[in-house]
Structure 1
Amino acid sequence: MKGKTSLLLIGLLLSTAAAGCGDEAPGRSGAAAPPQPSSPSAAASPIWPSPACVTGDWRTTGVSGEFGNVGGKVSGGTGATMNVGVDGTTDVGFTGSEPLAFSAEAAGATIRGQISYSGSVRAAVVFEPSGGGAGQWRPRDAAQNHLRATVKLSEPFSVTLLDNAGIGRLTGGELPGTGDAIDVLPILRGGTYTCAQNRLQVRTADSGPDLSWTFERVS
């Protein structure tokens, strides 16, 4: 009972921190599928081949970003790997990567903790180039979601919210109110990309926290 009470309290605090963060539909599960391309018919949408500057093997050098309207911050995330195929098929692996640290001020309390990912996820990315090595990043059909996560709070008290849980099956009832504070589909959410030489930045903001992932090309 104590664990459930702690979980509910943190969920309520993070729900406050995440207020106003996005356009999440009421009743959305934390493990909802990534958004579809913005055109009316996904099936009729033109699927761009992967831009040459994005195609290939990558490694994250870090992530930064925000959630909510009360100064929620995210950092860390070095060491995840990503392969982008010429047809847009994208595989992301998190085993061995560094945790993401998050912090916020909510309901008069300081919240600090970290989320450690392991496993992998695959999706088809629809690219909508806008020129100059930039454009829209639209993952869809994340069918092979083998992500697992451990989520720990260090403030305002120490508690483990998730312990090596399969977040592809996560529901709002298991982690109440945290859908916009904890990224349940990192990297493979809708947003934008910018690439130049051996550096790639993917910014994801749809249906979750506004995060910018930085990659370096693997030789």
Structure 2
Amino acid sequence: MRTSAIATVATLAGLGLAVAGCGEGGAVGLATPSPSAGTGSAAPTGSAGTSPPTGGPVASCVTGDWRTTAASGQAGGALASASISGGDGVLVKVGPTGATTVDFAGMKPVTFNAQLGDAKVAGTFSYAGKATGTVSTGAGAGTSGDWAPVPPLQWGDTRVTVELTQPTPAKLFDNVRISEYVGDGANRSADVVDIQPLLGEGRYQCGGNTLTLTPKDAGGLTWVLDRA
């Protein structure tokens, strides 16, 4: 998760940690979120109906069928700290040309906790639907290297649900398009949702039957996957 989440948590104190004003469904409209919304490094674009382009060279250890076993992220500072964990059950298929499909149907929720002084913000989020895109790991890639998504990425069928358990139980987003994770609802959930899950720019590392995807510049989530 990006360091901007720390400032977002601080915003919660100024809001008095109130959640009653955010109804079910969260933010409205289909506007594409700015890069500052969520823990991803760039805004999702496109719809699920467009065929992705060929990504180019892909390391042989990356190709195949995968299943996530964990997602994690954390940020900390003098005034605030936040952590997230969970997220197993996402199916990921990477083809030999880089064409990638992410299926969230079997995903278990991610749990998040943010602390600001004596105030705690906690809850869960999960994705639904599918995302498609293309990745490249570069020519001559080995067991580790760059994980480079090739635009456009297709997020039209990807949805997110966010629920708070603290300070007050509330469903901030109820199965809304990932592009709607913006505004007050994102602030109240400490800006923890990765808006480019598994298809954000970063690094990969293969080890046996395990693939680890680490976000660039500590943004987004780190995902661990096992061969399905």
TM-score, length of structure 1 as denominator length: 0.74
Q: Note the 1:16-55 alignment, pairs <5 A.
A: 28=35, 30=37, 32-33=42-43, 48-55=56-63
The one-letter amino acid of 2:11's match is L
In structure 1, the partner of 2:65 is 57
Task: Tell me: CA distance 1:163–1:138, structure 2 relative to 1, closer, same or farther (3 Å).
Answer: same
Distance 1:184 1:144, change over 3 A: closer
For the 8 Å contact 1:33–1:141, the answer to whether it is kept is no
Match of 2:127 in 1: 117
Q: Does 1:165 align with 2:176?
A: yes
By how many angstroms is 1:113 displaced?
Answer: 0.5
Given that residues 61 and 215 in structure 1 are in contact (C-alpha distance below 8 angstroms), is that contact kept between their aligned partners in structure 2?
A: yes
Matching residue of 2:111? 101
Offset, 1:194: 0.1
Structure 1 gaps of 5+ residues are: 1-8, 17-25, 36-46
Distance 2:14 2:225 in 1: 30
Query: Does the aligned pair in 2 maintain the 1:67–1:180 contact within 8 Å?
Result: no
What is the CA deviation profile of residues 113-151 of structure 1, one whole-angstrom value per residue up to 9, with x for unaligned ones?
000211111111121378650001111321243111110
1:13 matched residue in structure 2: 12
The answer to whether the 8 Å contact 1:124/1:142 transfers is: yes
Paired residue for 1:6? none
1:40-96 deviations in Å (ceiling 9; x for gaps): xxxxxxx54211100010001111221454321111011000000111111111112
User: In 2, Cα distance between the equivalents of 1:129 and 1:95?
Assistant: 33
Q: How does 1:132-211 map to 2 (within 5 A)?
A: 132-139=142-149, 140-167=151-178, 169-170=179-180, 172-173=182-183, 175-177=185-187, 180-205=191-216, 208-209=219-220, 211=221
Structure with the higher fraction of residues in strand conformation: 1
Deviation per CA, 1:90-111: give whole Å up to 9, x if none: 1111112100111111264111
Mapped to 1, the partners of 2:104 and 2:14 lie a distance apart of 26
Q: Which residue of 1 aligns with 2:29?
A: none
Gaps of 5+ in 2: 1-7, 16-32, 46-54
Change (3 A) 1:180 1:128: farther
Normalised by the size of structure 2, how large is the TM-score? 0.71
Any conservation in 2 of the 1:112–1:153 contact (CA below 8 Å)? yes
Q: Give the Cα separation in 2 of the matches to 1:96 and 1:68.
A: 30
Partner of 1:88: 98
Change (3 A) 1:132 1:138: closer
Contact 2:91 2:103 in 1 (8 A): yes
The root-mean-square deviation of aligned C-alpha atoms, in Å, is 3.3
Conserved in 1, the CA contact under 8 Å of 2:12 and 2:190? no
**Contact 1:72–1:104 (CA under 8 A) maintained in structure 2:** yes
- CA 1:29–1:179: 2 relative to 1, 3 Å: farther
Alignment partners' CA distance in 2, 1:130 and 1:67: 34
Once the two structures are TM-superposed, the CA of residue 173 in structure 1 deviates from its matched residue by: 2.8
**Deviation (angstroms), 1:14:** 8.9
